[in-house]
Amino acid sequence: MARYLVTGGAGFIGSHIVGRLAELGETVTVLDNLSTGKAQNLDRWWRQITFVEADIRDLDAVRRVCEGVDFVLHQAALPSVPRSVADPVTSNEVNVSGTLNILVAARDAGAKRVVYAGSSSAYGDTPTLPKREDMPASPLSPYAISKYTGELYCQVFARLYGIETVVLRYFNVFGPRQDPASQYAAVIPKFITALRRGDAPIIFGDGDQSRDFTYVANVVEANLRACTAPSVSGMVFNVACGHRTTLNDLVGMLQQILRVGTEPVHEAPRGGDVRHSLADISRAEELLGYSVLVSLEEGLARTIESSAPPAASL
């Protein structure tokens, strides 16, 4: 049995990773400051895990939780492009300095491998599709810069210090427990919430921008495989479905599942947003054994089902 540390484990993606590890009977420690994560995300597994409320910017706290750990799944970050545009300093402190603390502590504790949650925002708005890991980075926002800098630190630590690191570039992850109420909520929970209420979903721009939406179970699988795949230290992998969907088409799919006809409204495009995003996932398939377990359509249905209001009792 291995010992895992999941940073940001009370967050959306992190809690799904924690749940899967707990189901497998692994020993799991969660580090989260609960700034964006929620303790209730872990209610189902609370007795099976060790929870430490602390900030990744606190190196002493990070050192303590890294003691005796085999694998570090580093999900903790301050997400959102708009948030980083409004406050680039805090995004940098959390996503860059916090990641450096994780790497230093994991190295000094003798951890076997650090798996880092990267972001497809590193590619920026380069017109070439699909995005391949060997393409040059071209970040468009402070958030993208901070996540890409974390990648570079992972690669440098693998070369300089011998600690194994793997970078997973996530593409537009969605699923249950993604907070629709946040000012910086991702588009899918926002759209679902609006359509359920009979409100018009808001699309920034013409809606023809496209994304490679990825259900969270696929990301969990990629993380577990990245812990044990041989000969991949220092490498970067796209984690996605390999298909792109426009926001207009996404609204249409949600309308069909929810059986509503409320049409979206369009507002001015947001600064820092990329136009199109599509992943080449062949490297992850070949070297990690990654596969798409849940399609976009099935993932949307599961997400909607999980967020359905409880039936009224008679």
What pLDDT is stored for residue 180 in this prediction? 80
Whether 254 and 192 have beta carbons less than 8 Å apart is answered as yes
Residue 31 to residue 69: CA distance in whole angstroms = 12
For the cut 50, the answer to whether the pLDDT of residue 314 exceeds it is: no
Whether 12 and 33 have beta carbons less than 8 Å apart is answered as no
Phi, psi of 245 (to 5 degrees): -135, 135
pLDDT band, very low/low/confident/very high, at 307 (cuts 50, 70, 90): confident
| Helix ranges, the chain (H) | 12-23, 59-66, 81-86, 88-92, 98-109, 142-161, 187-197, 216-228, 247-258, 282-287, 296-306
Model pLDDT for residues 168-186, shown as the tens digit of each residue: 999 999 999 998 877 666 8
Say which of 4, 116, 123, 143 is annotated catalytic. 143
| Helix ranges, 138-259 (H) | 142-161, 187-197, 216-228, 247-258
Superfamily of domain 3-171+216-241+280-293: NAD(P)-binding Rossmann-like Domain (3.40.50.720)
Residue 245 to residue 296: CA distance in whole angstroms = 9
Q: Tell me the pTM.
A: 0.94
Residue 101 to residue 226: CA distance in whole angstroms = 21
Average pLDDT, stretch 266-270?
A: 91
- The mean pLDDT of the chain is 94
Whether 8 and 116 have beta carbons less than 8 Å apart is answered as no
Q: Which residue has the tokens 């929970």?
A: 189
User: Distance of CA 77 to CAs 13, 92, 115, 147, 274, Å?
Assistant: 11, 10, 14, 9, 20
What pLDDT is stored for residue 296 in this prediction? 97
Whether 203 and 188 have beta carbons less than 8 Å apart is answered as no
Model pLDDT for residues 62-75, shown as the tens digit of each residue: 999 999 999 999 99
What pLDDT is stored for residue 309 in this prediction? 65
| DSSP per position, 170-197 | E-SEE-TT--SSSTT--HHHHHHHHHHH
Model pLDDT for residues 35-72, shown as the tens digit of each residue: 999 999 999 999 999 999 999 999 999 999 999 999 99
Model pLDDT for residues 97-145, shown as the tens digit of each residue: 999 999 999 999 999 999 999 999 999 988 899 999 999 999 999 999 9
Average pLDDT, stretch 205-233?
A: 97
For the cut 80, the answer to whether the pLDDT of residue 313 exceeds it is: no
Average pLDDT, stretch 209-216?
A: 96
Whether 143 is catalytic is: yes
What pLDDT is stored for residue 310 in this prediction? 55
